[in-house]
Amino acid sequence: MKPTRIAFIGGAGRIGSAIIDGLLAAKTFRPGQILITARHPDSLALWRKRGLRCTVRNAEAVRQAAIVILCVHPEQVAEVVQEIAGVLTHRQLLLSVVTGLSTATLEEIVGQELRIVRAMPNTPVMVRQSMTCLARGRHATARDLEIAQRIFAAVGEVALLDEHYMDAATGLGGCGPAFAFKIIEALTEGGIKVGLARTVARKVAAQVLKGAAELVLRTGIHPAELKEQVATPAGCTIDGLAKLEEHGLSIALIDAVETATRKATQLFRSGGPEEKILDK
C-alpha cells in the first residue's frame, strides 16, 4: 500500500483502537501514517505514548488524510460531522464503521457527494481475526472498495455485501462475538460444575469453539454433518445435544441475531440520531 495517511475519527475507542492495533501488527500502515482523534485528550494518552499522531481536532486530522475512518457512536456523528463537513472532499475515501448509519444518510448529513464504504468489523480485529462486511456507497469506486478490502483483509476476513444487508451483518457479525463469548462463558461454567479447574475449563471451552469454527471454515462441511460425526448412537454427546434442544439454544441464537439486526435498523430512526442530525 502507498504511504497514504489515514485518520481514525474516534480512533481511541474500542473498535478504532482494535483496527489500528491490527493494521500496525500487519504493517499495512506505519505509525507515522496514522492520525487518531478522540473527544478527550486523556483518551489519546496511550496512543501518544506509542508515538502515534493524536489530536482532539477532527478537522485537522481529516485535512491531512487521504482515507478517513469514522469510528464514533451514532449519537456522536452529528457533532463530528459539524466539525469535518467543511474539510471532507470527494478526493478522500470515507470509511464508516458507525452502526446503522447508511451511506446515503451520511452523505445527506455531510451535505455533499462522498466516496463512502461502509464497514462492519468486530472486536476479534484485535487479534487480526475480524469478520468484516463491506458495502459500497453510491459514489465509491471499485478502487475504493479494493482499498477498503485491503485494509480489513489485513485484520481478518472480508465479505462484500449489498448495503441492504449491512444491518443483518451487524446483527450477526458485529454483535456475534458477544453471543460467542456468552457461549464460552456458559461452557466454562459447565466445565467447572463437573469439576474442572476454572482456567482449564475456560481454555477447553474457548479452544472447542475455535477448533469447531476452523473445522467448518477449512472443510466446508455443513455443521449439522460435523455434529453427527461427534454424536455416537447412545453416546454422551447426543444426551447433551438433547438438553440443548430442550432449553431452546437454536431458537435463542436465531432470536438474538434477529433482535440485534432489528435494533441496528432503528438506531438512526424516529427521534434517534438521524432525526436530530437532519433537523440541524
Q: Which residues bind ligand NAP (CB under 6 A)?
A: 9-10, 12-16, 37-40, 43, 58, 71-74, 76, 79-80, 97-99, 120-123, 174
| Residue 174 or 191 having the CB closest to ligand NAP | 174
C-alpha cell read off for 76: 456522536
CB of 181 to ligand NAP, least distance (A): 11
| Residue 84 or 114 having the CB closest to ligand NAP | 84
| Residue 122 or 188 having the CB closest to ligand NAP | 122
174-187 as b/e: b if 16+ CB within 10 A: bbbbeebeeebeeb
| Residue 93 or 95 having the CB closest to ligand NAP | 95
Please, what is the end-to-end C-alpha distance for the chain in angstroms?
Answer: 38
Sheet containing 130-136: give its strands across. Answer: 53-55, 34-37, 6-9, 67-70, 93-96, 115-120, 130-136, 156-160
| Residue 5 or 73 having the CB closest to ligand NAP | 73
Residue nearest to ligand NAP (CB): 13
DSSP assignments along 13-80, one per residue = SHHHHHHHHHHHHTTSS-GGGEEEE-SSGGGGHHHHHTT-EEES-HHHHHHT-SEEEE-S-GGGHHHH
